[in-house]
Amino acid sequence: MESHDGAWSLKEVQKLEGHTDRVWSVAWNPAAGVAGVPAMLASCSGDKTVRVWEQNPSSSSWFCKAVLDETHTRTVRSCAWSPSGKLLATGSFDATTAIWENVGGDFECVSTLEGHENEVKSVCWNASGSLLATCGRDRSVWIWEVLPGNEFECASVLQGHTQDVKMVQWHPTMDILFSCSYDNTIKIWAEDGDDDWHCVQTLSEANGGHTSTVWALSFNTAGDKMVTCSDDLTIKVWETDSAKMMSGDGYVPWSHVCTLSGYHDRTIFSVHWSREGIIASGAADDAIRFFVESKDGSVDGPSYKMILRNEKAHDMDVNSVRWSHGENRFLASASDDGTVKIWELVPVI
């Protein structure tokens, strides 16, 4: 991405209020915001509900379209739309994952996935929407197969992490699953063709990895780079050999390329890589920061620089930051202050 070498500014587009407890996560509907379909966003909260927000096409302002309540009996920690945008998965501290279907603007809970022994921390669909991954404090990662008629079948229960698993993310183009944990590691899981999933790599302190809980991970568009963030106050960038990866000759390992430290002095809860290559981070210091790869010719490999920081993005911890899928530079953030904010990153000429 070399669209702008100058300064940037972060414009607050709107503050979405309604949740009555902290907001943990936000997710943009990938099928909305294009081809005349109004943009749509889901948020989930400690108030045990999920809110679906929609943008009014004529006024451009956002309103709360639906409140998904009376299903989860505890905090809803994570939400993720299926690639088609028709289904929304929500993971809760009540140990269940609910699947909601958008039926003409009304959201119905069509399935409840049980199995985790305690709090579910994250949910994520693979690129084709055929698989759903969940993880939780019981240290396990579950892979569910999506069957016709909104049926879900457990395909595998992956053990390996020695502590609470904080997030799962599928690779953007291949069915390889990544998980990060309170045990300070990132684990990579692949299937050997026989529906047998196993851990193919662990990124730990020994490989240049984190020294405390890893809270989140995100891939660049090409899928050859990954960014992770941690309670150790750093953001790390990893990469894999993309040519080898494309040739499909078996698993290609990931290696550490860069550590961004000194930018945050409290836990970084969320990182997200935009389509264009801008990394957004949200932290416990109430701030949102933006980083891009620096082309300043470092011989040792790529380096990254911070292009902008909004120190008081929220009144309390920022728990989640997410770029929208579209052509624009819209970002949603969720906070302990109970609000969701929509931002636009704008180049300053």
Partner 1 sequence: MVSELINANPVVYEKKERRVRSTPSCVDEYAVEPIDQLEIFDHLRDIKDPEHPYSLEELKVITEDAIEVDDSNSYVRVTFTPTVEHCSMATIIGLCLRVKLMRSLPSRYKVDIRIAPGSHATEAAVNKQLNDKERVAAALENPNLVDMVDECLAPSNGLAG
State the residues that interact with partner 1 by CB under 8 A.
22, 46, 74-75, 77, 93, 118-119, 121, 137, 164, 166, 182, 212-213, 231, 266-267, 284-285, 315-317, 336-337
- Residue 73 Cβ, how far from partner 1 at the closest point, in Å? 9
- Joined together, the tokens standing for residue 107 give 């959201």
Reported in sequence order, the residue ranges of 148-231 that DSSP labels E, i.e. its strands, are: 151-158, 165-170, 177-181, 186-191, 197-203, 214-219, 225-230
- Residue 93 Cβ, how far from partner 1 at the closest point, in Å? 5
- Residue 22 Cβ, how far from partner 1 at the closest point, in Å? 8
- Residue 94 Cβ, how far from partner 1 at the closest point, in Å? 9
- Residue 124 Cβ, how far from partner 1 at the closest point, in Å? 17
Contacts of residue 233, defined as CB under 8 A and 6 or more positions apart, other chains included, come to 261, 264, 265, 266, 267, 268
Q: Which is nearer to partner 1, 283 or 292 (CB)?
A: 283
Q: Which is nearer to partner 1, 4 or 74 (CB)?
A: 74
The span from the CA of 124 to the CA of 216, in Å, is 12
Q: Which is nearer to partner 1, 87 or 167 (CB)?
A: 167
Cα dist from 6 to 9, 34, 96, 307, whole Å: 10, 29, 46, 9
- Residue 192 Cβ, how far from partner 1 at the closest point, in Å? 33
Give the DSSP H/E element, type plus range, for residue 31.
none
- Contact 234/224 with Cβ under 8 angstroms? no
Q: Which is nearer to partner 1, 224 or 285 (CB)?
A: 285
Q: Which is nearer to partner 1, 75 or 140 (CB)?
A: 75
Q: Which long-range contacts (CB under 8 A, 24 or more apart) does 69-76 make?
A: 71/98, 71/109, 71/112, 72/48, 72/96, 72/98, 73/48, 74/48, 74/119, 75/21, 75/24, 75/45, 75/46, 75/48, 75/119, 76/24, 76/44, 76/45, 76/48, 76/49, 76/50
Q: Which is nearer to partner 1, 137 or 187 (CB)?
A: 137
- Residue 210 Cβ, how far from partner 1 at the closest point, in Å? 13
Distance of CA 12 to the CA centre of its chain: 21
Q: Which is nearer to partner 1, 32 or 165 (CB)?
A: 165
